[in-house]
Homo-oligomer: A and B are copies of this chain.
């Protein structure tokens, strides 16, 4: 079987690629484990560092209507669609967000439909689909009322995935991710970039800015559990999703202040002093519109796993990305 990852140059995409290469197989449409003979890593920027003979790298613009016809074919049994323009960037550049987050997703689903073999499609959505007046704990049946263009575009992607699945064009599974923390690498244009930065930079002895107040509540998931969940969500039979192809993944609810306390406990006050508090009203508004927690009953019943607490999230970052050194 051939597997495609879009947005493969991102940290989740790279980590997922490595995990799939280690596993070497995935369940096919019949529910039977099959050898992954080829893994296509697609991104608009070159995906570097993969020398495995099963891997082919494609550096293209996913939103170009001609591209997907060349990349996706009847051998493409599974697609992990991770490519996205992140929240603050989609807010700053409306057209770019619409093009990548909406048009490219639709093009991908439509390409699958034309091929007619109903591939399995794992699509990532986000806390950002929620907004407005929210209950303290968001429920599975809480309405979406996104207050960012990114959230709107992801919510539309969810609806398209649901309908393309209901009609049998794709076998879609949409996993709503909590904010990912601690993301390795550099800060990005996600409004939630700080949710990794305030831990990552101090642990790497670098200065960082926290743009939100200490009482801001976040709903978090480690990259390790996120990638495990992507694979787990792929392996489930379609019937497990019943009437709803969109699933809220487990998370950990913490305030920014509690995150910083954890940092201090693990790495000392010198690390904490690397954080400069400097409020950014745009970031505060976007982040403040997201839920601080949601009900996890359905995900846990299906067998998905979250992190134990924020301590274990930080420890996972140290183990996975700092080679165990703090």
Minimum CB–CB distance from A34 to chain B (whole Å) comes to: 30
Interface residue SS majority, chain A: loop
Give residues 125-167 of A contacting B (CB, 8 Å). Answer: 132-133, 135, 140-147, 149, 152, 155-156, 159-160, 162-163, 166-167
Q: For A149, list chain B residues within 8 Å (CB).
A: 163, 167
List the number of copies, as a whole number: 2
Chain B residue nearest in CB terms to A149: B163
- Residues in B with CB closer than 8 Å to A141 are 133, 135, 142-143
A167 touches which of B94, B135, B146 (Cβ 8 Å): B94
A168 to chain B, nearest CB (A): 11
B159 near A155 with CB under 8 A, answer yes
Using Cβ atoms and an 8 Å threshold, which residues of chain B touch A167?
A: 94, 149
One digit per residue, 1 when the CB lies within 8 angstroms of any chain B CB and 0 when it does not, for chain A 31-61 equals 0000000000000000000000000000000
Q: Is A269 an interface residue (CB 8 A)?
A: no
A144 to B243, CA, bound (A): 12
Flag if A159 contacts B163 (CB, 8 Å).
no
Q: Which residues of B contact A147 (CB under 8 A)?
A: 166, 243
The answer, among B132, B146, B159, for a CB contact under 8 Å with A156, is B159
Bound form: Cα–Cα A152–B164 in Å: 10
A244: CB under 8 A from chain B?
Answer: yes
Beta-carbon contact of A143 and B146 below 8 Å: no
Q: Of the candidates B132, B135, B145, B159, which one forms a contact with A152 in the assembled complex, judged by CB atoms under 8 Å apart?
A: B159
Inter-chain contact B142/A143, CB cutoff 8 Å: yes
Contacts of A159 in B (CB 8 A): 144, 146, 152, 155-156, 159
Bound CA–CA A108/B79 (angstroms): 32
CA distance A160 to B155 in the complex (A): 10
- Cβ of A244 and Cβ of B132 under 8 Å apart? yes
Expressed in whole angstroms, the Cα–Cα distance for A59 and B251 within the complex equals 53
Question: Within the complex, which residue of B133, B152, B244 is in contact with A243, where a contact is CB–CB below 8 Å?
Answer: B133
**Residues of A224-279 whose CB lies within 8 A of B:** 243-244
Q: Which residues of B contact A142 (CB under 8 A)?
A: 141, 143
A156 vs B159: C-alpha distance when bound (angstroms): 7
Out of B133, B135, B143, B152, name the residue touching A163 (CB < 8 Å): B152
In angstroms, Cα B146 to Cα A133, docked, is 22
9 sample A-B contacts, Cβ–Cβ < 8 Å, listed by A number: A94-B167, A132-B244, A143-B143, A143-B144, A144-B159, A149-B163, A152-B160, A155-B159, A159-B159
